[in-house]
A and B are shown apart, each in its own frame.
Chain A
Amino acid sequence: MLLPVNTKCECGHQNAVGTVLCESCGKPLEKELLESNEPLEMRYDGVARRSQKANPDYLDKIWNFFSSVKIAIYLIIITFVGAMLGTIFPQASTFISSTFDPSVYYAEQYGLPGKIYYFLGLHRTYTSWWFITLLVMIATSLVICSIDRVLPLYRALSKQQIRKHHAFLKRQKATYSTTLAEDEAEWTKQYGQALRKKGYKVFVDESGTALLAEKNRFSRWGPYINHIGLILFLLAVLARSIPGWNVDQYVSIADGDTVPIVGTNYYVKSEGFKIELYENEELPEELKDSGRIKSFKTEVVLYECSANCNDDFEQPTLTEVHQHTILVNDPLRYKELKLHQFDFNLTPRINAVSPMVVNVQTGESYGPFHLKMVEPELHYEVGPYTLELIDKYMDFAINSEGEPITLSSSPNAPAFIFNIKGPGLAEAGEVFMYFPLEKDKVRFSQDTINRELANKVAIKVEGMENVDFSAATTHLNVRIDKAIKYLWIGAVISMIGLVMGTYWQHRRIWLRIDDQQLTLGAHTNKNWYGLRADIAYALKHCGIELDPKSLDNGGHKG
């Protein structure tokens, strides 16, 4: 295809192999192209791209593959078609539940199509090897396409010759030629002045009869800047797989609790979760009584741990570093740590009770004493009574052998076994079982368990003010994303490039006058309409009025 040919142009310029239009005078170099009448292909000003080498070796071939815009387009198309497939059924990653089994779910929920979907691995489309490969290939293509073109283009644009070949001028998409009566140099000067008013930089050659007017060359760099931004963006995405760069976990905190954030030095305390619904008068007719949520928020305090962190026996030393009310759109941000409102649970949890000890026979009551669910005291003196805590169950139940067990460490059904000493009781004390929650008292028949002791002594909570409980549990999403700032920088660079390349256009107008014969050609990468208007404006300034549309040489005029 690319034979070693003599690439020296008649103007004396030595061009690189693969050059379509002479870099200096613009004359079409291939014989076939020279003889045709079609408008010229002005992409990259017809310069040879880096990939157009005479004898490509193995590496060159890979380079050539990725340097092709056509390949880039195919990659983009395959990627978006692949992405479409991933939206047919929900992705497996949307199910957070640990019991979720995709091999069962898709077949059950969607039948045969679901089975095929799962079999093809489309339930994890966006983390599949082929999708990632496509993204990496696009990134490679971005790098290679850009390097392949930007350097030769830069070279071509920085050493433009003013006097262009006739074939070059006449075969631009916007051309004009006429015979002038005025002085050649004077006319050129006048035309240049008009274009200067339109913001063009005007260059006239030493003879004064050839002109190059150029505007907004910087916009040519837009696509490359955009691509650099995109590459940076993709690198930032890749960087998230560095360990520790992307933390994504959840913490559940009952109101009033302080819990450590695993993998960090931080502890977080919830001062309370609140949910607010819209009042009926705030809602339109069909939403009344729908319980539409107005807000949910968690007031939190963030601590940094300086000693005894994650120690099972010692209290950690905490210093408060930050306070925040977390809303759905307003996470806690402290350095790189972010806490997002994720979910909540409105099941109350009991923390402590302050019951009275009652002498059932006399009706006298003593106390109250403070009984915590977690790490309770082992010894209590209440009036004439002494209570020793023998055992406790946080989630009381009876197993199949009839033995008491605890189902979990959460205080869902707490039970306490005391040895009570006091008036009217045995010298060594008597064993008393106490269920702080009224429902458990009935469910497990506390009075039956305690038998005749139930007629002598009782432990009773009087009023809700003596119960300390957490009304809600908030679930927060803990995030650390160290790559995010690079990601935004990439996005900003990409946007700048995009705007440069789209909202400005590189316009060039060349003209030469030989023996009173004016030949004018012009090129832009976008917005020919605007370019033609500029040419016509300047022509009018020189006394030639015409319809800008007549400058069009869209391949129809020959």
Chain B
Amino acid sequence: MNWLEFSSSSLGVAFFLYVFATIFYMVAIAGKKWGKKDPKLHEARWGKIAFITSTLGLVAHLLFFFTRWIGSGQIPTSNMYEFITLLGMTIMIAYTIIYFIYKKLLLGMFALPLAIIVIAYASVFPSDVQPLVPALQSHWLKIHVTTAALGEAFFAVGFAAALMYLLRTIDFKDKTKNGKRAQRWLEFTLISILVVIGFIIAAFGFKGAGYTASFQQENASVSQLGEISTTTETVEYTMPPIFKPYNSEAIEVTPFLGMTDGLFETPSWFNGVNSGRKLNTVVWSIIVGLLLYGIIRVIIRKPLGAAIHPALEGIDPDDLDEISYRAIVIGFPIFTLGGLIFAMIWAEEAWGRFWGWDPKEVWALITWLYYSAYLHFRLSRGWQGKPSAWLAVIGFVIVLFTLVGVNLLIAGMHSYAGVE
């Protein structure tokens, strides 16, 4: 077995340990009501088991990281697969640090699933080692990417705690307009998470079934002299084409539910590389996510939030509020250093300018400005608790957009951090 094989098995082990740890956390919390046992003792015992399991998972994850580094000869932070697995790992590191500060079991019930989703998302991307292009051959690749990811991981933990706070405090019996609105937004947040899971299921499902489709797309472009030129390219799909590329012909489409060609054509104003395929993927993720949500609703017969809410009773919401705030406070300087200062130093070295208003740079700045607004809001009365929790949830959406959305939707200098 070589280093790289050992590395990828380690990640598999880490993944399953995280899943088990999540289950143990659930046993620790939910099991309190199970029998005659002393509930405090039960929680302490299973909490300990769960934490040990999750720490072993983190050890396996670190093994994955370092053996891949040794095996490939370069730090595994250079493509989407490597970066997202790194993010999963830093979330676990951030969680472990916060656990040591607060010793609150329940955080694991939300931070671990977050790490699990992140790792599952990573494995959608090709996992081959890709040798570095010249732009990435710098020691700043190691420093900038890891610190930025660690900062963002603390924001992720802040998000997990904030989501728990909302699930804990939003009153599902409240029939007032404000109460209803809070319930709807919380449900929407949970559905969004299901859509991400939907993407992972769809990607793996169709990949497992060996689904492929390809289209010949004709692109017309007008040069600056007014000459019209057309180029054709082949676009490969791995999910059935609900939306086929704009102005394209099917070359080969595996039939799916009687579909032998795209149902709709991607509108022309969807711009960017492979916009048709991206739109199609998004549509599939939403369909699968909503389907998943529908199934869950049929089983539990009430809103998802209302179903999770009782499990969180007995946790002090003030603790959650404080943990969320504290995680963000800890993450903020790390993100400033890794996401902005180190990034500027590297940009100055590679491109000669410390700042170029590249979309990725702008979004890192937006993230930073957003969280600095959050920190200033916390200074004023009335912004603790719910408003602050909502801000932490929205903040994490911005973080995700900066990390993934920019690469998927906006082309820029970071586009070499190839996504597809």
CB under 8 Å from chain B, chain A span 49-75:
69-70, 72-73
B366 contacts A84, C-beta separation under 8 Å: yes
Measured CB to CB, the nearest residue on chain A to B323 is: A529
B318 contacts A552, C-beta separation under 8 Å: yes
A248-259 vs B, Cβ < 8 Å mask (1 yes, 0 no): 100000000000
By the criterion of a CB under 8 Å from any partner CB, how many residues of chain B are at the interface? 59
Docked pose: A125 CA to B358 CA in angstroms: 12
Taking a contact as CB atoms closer than 8 A, the residue among B330, B350, B410 that contacts A87 in the complex is B410
A149 shortest CB reach to chain B, Å: 11
Docked pose: A154 CA to B152 CA in angstroms: 34
B398-420 vs A, Cβ < 8 Å mask (1 yes, 0 no): 00000000100011100000000
B354 contacts A87, C-beta separation under 8 Å: no
CB under 8 Å from chain A, chain B span 121-168:
126, 128-131, 133-135, 137-138, 140
Taking a contact as CB atoms closer than 8 A, the residue among A287, A338, A487, A554 that contacts B352 in the complex is A338
B133 contacts A100, C-beta separation under 8 Å: no
A109 contacts B271, C-beta separation under 8 Å: yes
A444 contacts the other chain (Cβ, under 8 Å)? Answer: no
Residues of A within 8 A of B129 (CB): 284
Docked pose: A498 CA to B151 CA in angstroms: 14
Taking a contact as CB atoms closer than 8 A, the residue among B131, B271, B329, B381 that contacts A526 in the complex is B329
B271 contacts A294, C-beta separation under 8 Å: no
Docked pose: A79 CA to B372 CA in angstroms: 12
B100 contacts the other chain (Cβ, under 8 Å)? Answer: no
A292 contacts the other chain (Cβ, under 8 Å)? Answer: yes
B329 contacts A295, C-beta separation under 8 Å: no
A83 and B131 in contact, given A328-B137, A331-B349, A549-B316 (Cβ under 8 angstroms): no
Docked pose: A495 CA to B337 CA in angstroms: 7
B196 contacts the other chain (Cβ, under 8 Å)? Answer: no
B134 contacts A487, C-beta separation under 8 Å: no
Taking a contact as CB atoms closer than 8 A, the residue among A83, A292, A549 that contacts B365 in the complex is A83
B20 contacts the other chain (Cβ, under 8 Å)? Answer: no
Interface SS, B side: helix
Residues of A within 8 A of B332 (CB): 498, 502
B380 contacts the other chain (Cβ, under 8 Å)? Answer: yes
Residues of A within 8 A of B349 (CB): 329-331
Docked pose: A111 CA to B269 CA in angstroms: 7
Docked pose: A99 CA to B330 CA in angstroms: 48
From B140, B352, B366, residue with most partner A Cβ within 10 Å: B352
A286 contacts B372, C-beta separation under 8 Å: no
B326 contacts A80, C-beta separation under 8 Å: no
B34 contacts the other chain (Cβ, under 8 Å)? Answer: no
B300 contacts the other chain (Cβ, under 8 Å)? Answer: no
Taking a contact as CB atoms closer than 8 A, the residue among B224, B351, B359 that contacts A101 in the complex is B224
A427 contacts the other chain (Cβ, under 8 Å)? Answer: no
A313-325 vs B, Cβ < 8 Å mask (1 yes, 0 no): 0000000000000
B8 shortest CB reach to chain A, Å: 13
B331-354 vs A, Cβ < 8 Å mask (1 yes, 0 no): 011001100010011101111111
A495 and B133 in contact, given A328-B350, A331-B352 (Cβ under 8 angstroms): no
B369 contacts the other chain (Cβ, under 8 Å)? Answer: yes
Docked pose: A80 CA to B402 CA in angstroms: 13
Taking a contact as CB atoms closer than 8 A, the residue among A76, A91, A498 that contacts B373 in the complex is A76
Residues of A within 8 A of B101 (CB): 529
A487 and B354 in contact, given A77-B373, A495-B336 (Cβ under 8 angstroms): yes
A329 and B131 in contact, given A93-B357, A503-B333, A527-B326 (Cβ under 8 angstroms): no
A328 contacts B135, C-beta separation under 8 Å: yes
A86 contacts the other chain (Cβ, under 8 Å)? Answer: yes
B363 contacts the other chain (Cβ, under 8 Å)? Answer: yes
Docked pose: A287 CA to B24 CA in angstroms: 42
A11 contacts the other chain (Cβ, under 8 Å)? Answer: no
A69 and B224 in contact, given A329-B138, A484-B354, A529-B102 (Cβ under 8 angstroms): no
A83-121 vs B, Cβ < 8 Å mask (1 yes, 0 no): 110110011010001011100100011110100000000
Docked pose: A330 CA to B137 CA in angstroms: 10
Measured CB to CB, the nearest residue on chain A to B318 is: A554
A286 contacts B128, C-beta separation under 8 Å: yes
A199 shortest CB reach to chain B, Å: 17
A73 contacts B377, C-beta separation under 8 Å: yes
Docked pose: A109 CA to B319 CA in angstroms: 51
Docked pose: A292 CA to B362 CA in angstroms: 28
Docked pose: A84 CA to B341 CA in angstroms: 20
Taking a contact as CB atoms closer than 8 A, the residue among A125, A488, A498 that contacts B333 in the complex is A498
A479-498 vs B, Cβ < 8 Å mask (1 yes, 0 no): 10100100110010011001
Docked pose: A549 CA to B224 CA in angstroms: 69
A283 contacts the other chain (Cβ, under 8 Å)? Answer: yes
B128 contacts A76, C-beta separation under 8 Å: no
A295 contacts B319, C-beta separation under 8 Å: no
Residues of B within 8 A of A76 (CB): 369, 372-373, 376
Docked pose: A294 CA to B137 CA in angstroms: 9
Residues of B within 8 A of A70 (CB): 380
B204 contacts the other chain (Cβ, under 8 Å)? Answer: no
B386 shortest CB reach to chain A, Å: 14
Measured CB to CB, the nearest residue on chain B to A74 is: B373
Measured CB to CB, the nearest residue on chain A to B331 is: A502
A86 contacts B357, C-beta separation under 8 Å: yes
A290 shortest CB reach to chain B, Å: 10
Measured CB to CB, the nearest residue on chain B to A126 is: B357
B287 shortest CB reach to chain A, Å: 27
Measured CB to CB, the nearest residue on chain A to B363 is: A87
A43 contacts B379, C-beta separation under 8 Å: yes
A327 contacts the other chain (Cβ, under 8 Å)? Answer: yes
Measured CB to CB, the nearest residue on chain B to A477 is: B352
Measured CB to CB, the nearest residue on chain A to B224 is: A99
CB under 8 Å from chain B, chain A span 31-63:
41, 43
A65 shortest CB reach to chain B, Å: 16
B134 contacts A100, C-beta separation under 8 Å: no
B333 contacts A295, C-beta separation under 8 Å: no
Taking a contact as CB atoms closer than 8 A, the residue among A69, A111, A481, A491 that contacts B380 in the complex is A69
Residues of A within 8 A of B359 (CB): 87
CB under 8 Å from chain B, chain A span 162-191:
none
A491 and B341 in contact, given A69-B376, A87-B362, A91-B357 (Cβ under 8 angstroms): yes
CB under 8 Å from chain B, chain A span 137-172:
none
From B128, B316, B353, residue with most partner A Cβ within 10 Å: B353
Q: A70-B380, A284-B129, A488-B345 are in contact. List 11 more A-B contacts (CB 8 A).
A: A73-B373, A76-B372, A76-B376, A110-B271, A113-B269, A125-B357, A283-B130, A292-B133, A331-B352, A340-B351, A503-B333
Q: Which residues of B contact A (CB under 8 A)?
A: 101-102, 126, 128-131, 133-135, 137-138, 140, 222, 224, 269, 271, 316, 318-319, 322, 325-326, 329-330, 332-333, 336-337, 341, 344-346, 348-354, 357, 359, 362-363, 365-366, 369-370, 372-373, 376-377, 379-381, 406, 410-412
Q: Which residues of A contact B (CB under 8 A)?
A: 41, 43, 69-70, 72-73, 76-77, 79-80, 83-84, 86-87, 90-91, 93, 97, 99-101, 104, 108-111, 113, 125-126, 248, 278, 282-287, 292-296, 327-331, 338, 340, 477, 479, 481, 484, 487-488, 491, 494-495, 498-499, 502-503, 526-529, 549, 552, 554
8 residue pairs bridging A and B, Cβ less than 8 Å apart: A90-B411, A90-B412, A108-B222, A328-B350, A331-B352, A488-B345, A495-B336, A503-B333
